[in-house]
Amino acid sequence: MPTNVMKRTLLPLLLTTLVLPQIARAQSTITAPSTPSAEAEDVPLKGEEVAILTDAPNVPPPITRKHPTNVKVEIEVTEVVKRMADGVDYTFWTFGGSVPGKFIRVRQNDVVDFTLKNHPTSKMPHNIDLHAVTGPGGGAKATFTAPGHQTNFSFKALNPGLFIYHCATAPVGMHIANGMYGLILVEPKEGMAKVDKEFYVVQGDFYTTGKYGEAGLQGFNMEKAIAENPDYVVFNGAVGSLTGEKALKASVGETVRLFVGNGGPNLVSSFHVIGEIFDRVYQEGGSRYNENVQTTLVPAGGSTICEFKLDTKGDFILVDHSIFRAFNKGALGILNADGEGDLLVFSGQKKDEVYLPEGGAIQTIPSNTKAAPPAANKEERILAGLNVYGRNCAACHMPTGTGVPGAFPPLVKSDYLNADVDRSIGAVLHGLQGEVTVNGNKFNSIMPTLGLNDEDVANVLTYVYSVWDNSGVEVKPEQVAKVRAAKK
């Protein structure tokens, strides 16, 4: 008690004589001009506005004002049944109706007035923890909201960067696993470099009662979530949310900025764009960038900013390069670049030829040897054809012409072969693709173009027709030439 009294009487004296000058001194050192941008002085707060919020893959327009302001942000939480994959539905819990939640874009030192509304039909209370908030819980406690209610708090966006926000209501893991996350961008007060296109992509892992692709409304599976064994790993809340008609679109020559988040709840993403090298990556959504990056890690509950220029046209594929997630669990998106392709940057395929290490038709014959003379009669033709067959055909159709059931059609007593000689010539000349029925069995694979000359084609077909109970017709080079000409 006595010490308390003493403190109380001494305090004002201390404040006026000792503490205040010290505080003033301390402040003057903190605001020294050499300190990082986060603490450097800014122009005063001025005006107010309502934030423009967007659904993925769209991003709100860049901030053009040169001063901080009061920004109003309102987000409504809804629990909705939506498509996870074709034929597969899931009850998503959302910040604004879809996964990921609304993209929020503010400027450093803005004061954000944040209202969280929980739709009356929600079954759960929800809240929001914005990683852009400096303060306990990131706003979680201040926004704990029962169904049919709304809460409000405000914060000053002290640090620039790209931040995840998410729900932090118990059980936290389940709220996040159901899709409760999104991104908030705090632009540095210097602003960001202008780019032509900006996109919003967030990866998330999902745990369903059924396996990947199992149709119907799927429930959340807690055991799989705890075991960190997801059925789905997707961009923007669904398989195919960035493919087909929904692919991201840009043009050659444009600069692209991807705001990439990872909601988790469990997996770390090895984010990569197939066929593109990131010119700049702001790792973990921070202020410093690395250059010329192929694949960048996006932590669960973290982000990254990737920038690159589109130098050539085509489809560039966004993946989590933990690659089974891309091809078997859904983590795949497409950025389509239209315009003129630069052939020097990328030529496209120039050739596709059969590669046979031990000979084959594509080998050019050395100039000091002579080409074999044309066959003079059917016997010579069959003999020559046997060799052509051995080099080019036997690998698939087998040396005895039996083929491989289910993969390569038989040539023995082949109804397909005997029905139409010209069709057979065409197949050898140009290859064959798609379904064919041979002796009652269906085959659906590819026969490559072999690049044989007319003489070789005539010889090999004459050989095939003369053996294995086939029709025995002789195919002449002239007939081959005719079929070849017909195609042109």
Partner 1 sequence: MKIQALLLSLLTGLTLAGEIPADMARVEGGEYVPMFGEISKPRKVETFLIDRRPVTNAEFLAFVREHPKWQRSNVGKLFADQGYLSHWAGDLELGENAPPNAAVVRVSWFAVRAYLKNINKRLPREDEWEFAARADATQADASKDPVFLARILKWYGQPSPVRLPDVDTLLVDIHGVVGLHGNVWEWVVDFNNQMVTGAARSDSTLDRALFCAGGAVNATDAANYAAFMRYAFRSSLEGNYTTTNLGFRGARDAELTEPTP
Binding site for partner 1 (CB under 8 A): 79-81, 91, 120-125, 127, 129, 136-137, 140-149, 168-172, 174, 178, 209, 219-220, 222-223, 226
User: Which two tokens mark 268?
Assistant: 């770390």
Residues β-bridged to residue 65: none
By C-beta, is 180 or 384 nearer to partner 1? 180
Q: How far apart are the first and last CA of the chain?
A: 107
Residue 432, token pair as written in the block: 């064959």
Q: How far is the CB of 301 from partner 1 (least distance, A)?
A: 12
Judged by beta carbon, residue 220 or residue 416, the one nearer partner 1 is: 220
Question: Smallest distance from the beta carbon of 266 to partner 1, in angstroms?
Answer: 15
Instruction: Please give the C-alpha separations between residue 93 and each of 35, 78, 179, 471, in angstroms, as whole numbers.
Output: 42, 6, 6, 68
Q: How far is the CB of 217 from partner 1 (least distance, A)?
A: 8
Q: What's the min distance (Å) between Cβ of 238 and partner 1?
A: 17
CB of 166 to partner 1, least distance (A): 11
Cβ proximity to partner 1: between 221 and 462 the closer is 221
- Indicate the residue among 124 and 242 with the shorter CB distance to partner 1: 124
Nearest to 409 by CA among 379, 384, 441: 441
Using alpha carbons only, what angle is made at residue 430 by residues 428 and 434, rounded to the nearest 5 degrees? 95
- Beta carbon of residue 96, minimum distance to partner 1 (angstroms, whole number): 16
Closer residue to partner 1, CB minimum distance, 116 or 331: 116
Which lies closer to partner 1 via its Cβ, residue 33 or residue 136?
136
Q: In the complex, what is the shortest distance from the CB of residue 110 to partner 1, in angstroms, rounded to a whole number?
A: 23
C-alpha 221/C-alpha 151 separation (Å) is: 30
H helix and E strand count, the chain: 11, 23
Closest CB 204 distance from partner 1, rounded Å? 16
Alpha helix (H) residue ranges in 219-332? 222-226, 324-328
Give the nearest distance from C-beta 303 to partner 1 in angstroms. 20
Identify whether the C-beta of residue 302 lies closer than 8 Å to the C-beta of residue 260. no
Closest CB to partner 1 among residues 79, 455: 79
Nearest approach, Cβ of 135 to partner 1 (angstroms)? 11
Separation of alpha carbons 177 and 418, rounded Å: 61
Q: How far apart are CA 56 and CA 321, in angstroms?
A: 21
Which two tokens mark 207?
Answer: 């745990």
Nearer to partner 1, 219 or 406 (CB): 219
Q: Please tell me the distance from the alpha carbon of residue 488 to that of residue 484, in angstroms, as a whole number.
A: 7
Nearer to partner 1, 94 or 479 (CB): 94
DSSP per-residue letters across 299-344? -TTEEEEEEEE--S-EEEEEEESSTHHHHHS--EEEEEEES---TT
Return the beta strands (E) in 188-254 as ranges.
197-206, 216-218, 232-235, 248-251
Least distance (Å) between residue 120 CB and partner 1: 5
Sign of CA dihedral 222, 224, 228, 233: negative
Distances (CA, A) of 191 to 23, 27, 63, 113, 415: 32, 26, 7, 21, 72
For residues 429 and 481, give the distance between their C-alpha atoms in angstroms, rounded to a whole number.
10
Q: Please identify, using beta-carbon distances, which residue of 171 and 406 lies nearer to partner 1.
A: 171
3 state SS for 34-82: CCCCCCCCCCCCCCEEECCCECCCCCCCCCCCCCCCEEEEEEEEEEEEE
Nearer Cβ to partner 1, position 172 or 473?
A: 172
The closest of 259, 262, 244 to 179, measured between CA atoms, is: 262
- Rounded least distance, CB 146 to partner 1, Å: 4
Asked if 225 contacts 209 with a C-beta cutoff of 8 angstroms, the reply is no
Smallest separation, CB 229 to partner 1 (Å)? 15
Query: Considering beta carbons, is residue 165 or 271 the nearer one to partner 1?
Result: 165
CB atoms within 10 A of CB 179: 29
Nearer to partner 1, 79 or 320 (CB): 79
